[in-house]
Amino acid sequence: MDTAQNTPSQTNRSMQVRIFFLFLFLFAASTKRSVSSWNDASRMATIQALVEQSTLVIDDTMFVDLTSDTYLYQGHTYSSKPPALAAMGALVYGSLHLAGITFEKNPSLAYYLITLLTIGSTSALGLVYFWKILIEFFGASLTWASVSTFIAGARTLILPYSTVFNSHVIVGSFLLIGSYYTFQFMKFDKIHHIVYSGMLFSLAASIDTSCYIFLPFAFFLFLRQSFKSALVFTLACIPLVLFFFGTNLYSSGSLLPPTLNAPLRTSIESPFTSENLSGLASHNDLSDLSIYAYHMLLGNRGLLSHSPILFFSLIGIYNLYQNRASQRLYIDSIILLAACGIFILLAICRTNNYSGDAFGVR
pLDDT in tens, 125-177: 999 999 999 999 888 899 999 999 999 999 888 999 999 999 999 999 999 99
| pLDDT exceeds 70 at position 123 | yes
Do the Cβ atoms of 208 and 190 come closer than 8 Å?
no
CA atoms of 227 and 234, how far apart (whole Å) = 11
Q: Is 261 a member of any domain?
A: no
Query: Are 223 and 85 found together in one domain?
Result: no
Query: Are 218 and 137 found together in one domain?
Result: no
pLDDT number for residue 28: 97
| pLDDT exceeds 90 at position 259 | no
Q: Which residue has the higher pLDDT, 4 or 108?
A: 108
Does residue 63 sit in helix, strand or coil? coil
Phi, psi of 275 (to 5 degrees): -85, -25
pLDDT number for residue 3: 45
Do the Cβ atoms of 70 and 56 come closer than 8 Å?
no
Secondary element (H or E) of residue 76 = strand 76-79
pLDDT number for residue 171: 96
Q: Which residues contact 304 (CB under 8 A, 6 or more apart)?
A: 297, 298, 310, 311
Query: Are 40 and 66 found together in one domain?
Result: yes
Would you say the C-alpha torsion 148, 154, 158, 163 has a positive or negative sign? Answer: positive
Query: Are 93 and 59 found together in one domain?
Result: yes
pLDDT number for residue 303: 81
Query: Are 89 and 149 found together in one domain?
Result: yes
Letter for the amino acid at 3? T
| pLDDT exceeds 70 at position 186 | yes
Average pLDDT score over residue span 78-106: 96
Q: Is 268 a member of any domain?
A: no
Average pLDDT score over residue span 40-55: 97
CA atoms of 121 and 110, how far apart (whole Å) = 16
Average pLDDT score over residue span 86-90: 98
Residues 1-36 have pLDDT tens digits of 444 455 667 778 999 999 999 999 999 999 999 998
CA atoms of 240 and 204, how far apart (whole Å) = 9
pLDDT number for residue 266: 66
- Domain boundary pick from 164, 182, 217: 164
Q: Is 208 a member of any domain?
A: yes
Average pLDDT score over residue span 202-226: 95
- Domain boundary pick from 130, 164, 198: 164
Average pLDDT score over residue span 209-228: 94
**Pick from 103-117, 215-229, 274-288: least confident:** 274-288
The closest alpha carbon to 110, from 127, 136, 89, belongs to 89
- Domain boundary pick from 146, 164, 182: 164
Query: Are 28 and 117 found together in one domain?
Result: yes
Average pLDDT score over residue span 50-70: 95
pTM for the structure as a whole? 0.91
Average per-residue pLDDT for the chain: 89
Query: Are 23 and 157 found together in one domain?
Result: yes
Average pLDDT score over residue span 70-83: 92
Q: Is 324 a member of any domain?
A: yes
Query: Are 25 and 55 found together in one domain?
Result: yes
Query: Are 159 and 171 found together in one domain?
Result: no
Phi, psi of 72 (to 5 degrees): -105, 135
pLDDT number for residue 284: 86
Q: Is 262 a member of any domain?
A: no
Buried b (16+ CB within 10 A) or exposed e, 12-30: beebbeebbebbbebbbee
Query: Are 339 and 198 found together in one domain?
Result: no
Could you tell me the residue range of the domain that residue 320 belongs to? 279-362
Q: What radius of gyration, in Å, describes the C-alpha atoms of the chain?
A: 21
Q: Is 269 a member of any domain?
A: no
pLDDT number for residue 268: 65
341: left (phi over 0), alpha (psi -120 to 50) or beta: alpha
Q: Which residues contact 319 (CB under 8 A, 6 or more apart)?
A: none
pLDDT number for residue 1: 42
Do the Cβ atoms of 253 and 260 come closer than 8 Å?
no
Average pLDDT score over residue span 187-212: 96
Residues 315-353 have pLDDT tens digits of 878 877 777 656 667 788 888 889 999 988 988 888 887
Q: How many other CB atoms are there within 10 angstroms of residue 176's CB atom?
A: 20
Q: Is 73 a member of any domain?
A: yes
Opening angle at CA 303, ends 300 and 309, nearest 5: 110
pLDDT number for residue 2: 45
Query: Are 13 and 159 found together in one domain?
Result: yes
Query: Are 55 and 150 found together in one domain?
Result: yes
| Domain tally, the chain | 3
Q: Is 2 a member of any domain?
A: no
CA atoms of 308 and 298, how far apart (whole Å) = 9
Q: Which residue has the higher pLDDT, 314 or 76?
A: 76
Concatenating the DSSP letter of every residue in 220-287 gives: HHHHHH-HHHHHHHHHHHHHHHHHHHHHHHHHHSSSS-GGG-HHHHGGGT-S--TTTSTTT---SSHH
